[in-house]
Amino acid sequence: MSLSNGVSGLFDVSPYINKGFFKELANEAYVKLVKVDSSGMGVCWPNEQDFSVDTLEAELIK
């Protein structure tokens, strides 16, 4: 992913998929449903899992 501040890299969801709220992220088809949230400050999925831009930037694999 590329952030508006020019930072880019991969965001690995695997550390989160064993946590109850994020378990649906183990399903590749579900992961592909990701969208930028309505505030433009993160990403989200249909069942309200989300990551803020701060989390994304801190954990990008460069």
Q: What pLDDT, in 10s, does the model give residues 28-54? A: 999 999 999 999 999 999 999 999 999
Q: pLDDT band for position 18 (50/70/90)? A: confident
For tokens 């109850």, name the residue. 20
Please give the pLDDT value at position 62. 65
Please give the pLDDT value at position 42. 94
Kindly report whether the global pTM for this prediction surpasses the value 0.75: yes
Please give the pLDDT value at position 5. 86
Please give the pLDDT value at position 24. 95
